[in-house]
């Protein structure tokens, strides 16, 4: 039975607009789509049922699904175009780091008071405005224009733009039996710039 002549998994036909006369080919540019967890499960089950190998790449912000039938790009969380533009500005103008970064000795503090039972008469929370952008700028790693551009952004978008410097991608390749044939981790070559900001905080 030819999988291309069968119906696409329930829930995917409308969302992906795919039919037997409109199949996304592997070599084409990934098609951006919105998928929920049920859609993704259907997509994986479809390939397993017809013994079709496929690859899933999962990064901090996006995921890619690639097979002979599909080449899809979907976002985990929607971010503004301004955030991606800021990342592009940062990346294109980066200068060499002034000193090396040793991730083993970096302390990244994160507290979730929802799940921690504490009591104190006074609690002080210090939030430095534009901390990471200022570290990059004060060390001559980004331009005045890029720093000013980020100053106009929301804190969430600023952090996301700089966080993309440390992007990490997990790539899982599944064989025609539906089992993981290989797994690799691809780390950004610019990750030291992000960890430099953490180190200097």
Give the tens place of pLDDT for each residue, 12-59: 543 444 444 444 444 567 777 776 677 778 888 888 888 999 999 988
DSSP state of 162: H
- Confidence at 162, pLDDT banded by 50, 70, 90: very high
Residue 159 covered by a domain: yes
Mean pLDDT of the 98-118 span: 73
> Which sign, positive or negative, has the C-alpha torsion 160, 161, 166, 168?
positive
In a domain, 187, yes or no: no
Residues 96 and 63 in one domain: no
Q: Does the residue 150 lie in any domain?
A: yes
3-state secondary structure of 193: helix
In terms of Cβ atoms closer than 10 Å to its own Cβ (0-12, 13-18, 19+), residue 160 is buried
* The pLDDT of residue 15: 43
Whether residues 19 and 36 share a domain: the answer is yes
In a domain, 31, yes or no: yes
Verify that 99 and 31 share a domain, yes or no.
no
32-41, 112-121, 133-142: least confident range: 112-121
Residue length, the chain?
201
> How many folded domains does the chain comprise?
2
Inside any domain, residue 178: no
* pLDDT value of position 112: 63
pLDDT value of position 123: 74
Joined tokens for residue 193: 């710039």
- What backbone phi and psi angles, to 5 degrees, belong to 83? -65, -45
Q: Which of 49-53, 85-89, 112-116, 159-163 has the lowest mean pLDDT?
A: 112-116
Distance separating the N- and C-terminal Cα atoms of the chain = 59
182, part of any domain:
no
The Cα 73–Cα 165 span in angstroms is 20
Which tokens is 146 given?
Answer: 């890029």
Q: What is the pTM of this model?
A: 0.70
Same domain, 98 and 155: yes
- Rounded Cα gap, residues 35 and 142, in angstroms: 36
Residue 186 lies inside a defined structural domain of this protein = no
pLDDT confidence of residue 121: 80
Across the range 112-131, mean pLDDT stands at 70
Least confident among 37-41, 73-77, 128-132, 168-172: 73-77
Number of H helices, E strands in the chain: 7, 6
Pair 107, 147 in one domain: yes
Q: What gap in Å lies between CA 5 and CA 102, rounded to an integer?
A: 54
Q: Give the other-Cβ count within 10 Å of 23's Cβ.
A: 13
Q: Indicate whether 140 belongs to any domain.
A: yes
Backbone angles phi, psi at 131, to 5 degrees: -60, -55
Instruction: State whether 103 and 144 are in the same domain.
Output: yes
Owning domain of residue 15? 3-77
């Amino acid at each position: 039975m030819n999988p291309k002549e069968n119906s696409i998994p329930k829930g995917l036909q409308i969302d992906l607009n795919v039919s037997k006369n409109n199949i996304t080919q592997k070599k084409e540019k990934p098609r951006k789509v919105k998928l929920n967890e049920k859609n993704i499960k259907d997509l994986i089950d479809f390939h397993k049922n017809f013994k079709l190998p496929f690859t899933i790449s999962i990064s901090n912000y996006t995921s890619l699904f690639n097979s002979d039938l599909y080449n899809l790009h979907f976002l985990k969380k929607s971010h503004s175009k301004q955030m991606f533009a800021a990342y592009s500005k940062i990346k294109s103008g980066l200068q060499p780091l002034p000193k090396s970064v040793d991730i083993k000795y970096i302390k990244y503090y994160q507290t979730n008071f929802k799940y921690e039972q504490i009591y104190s008469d006074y609690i002080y929370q210090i939030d430095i405005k534009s901390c990471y952008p200022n570290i990059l700028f004060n060390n001559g790693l980004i331009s005045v224009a890029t720093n000013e551009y980020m100053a106009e952004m929301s804190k969430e978008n600023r952090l996301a733009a700089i966080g993309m410097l440390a992007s990490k991608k997990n790539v899982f390749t599944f064989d025609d039996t539906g089992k993981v044939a290989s797994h690799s981790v691809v780390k950004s070559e610019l990750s030291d710039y992000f960890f430099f900001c953490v180190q200097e905080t």
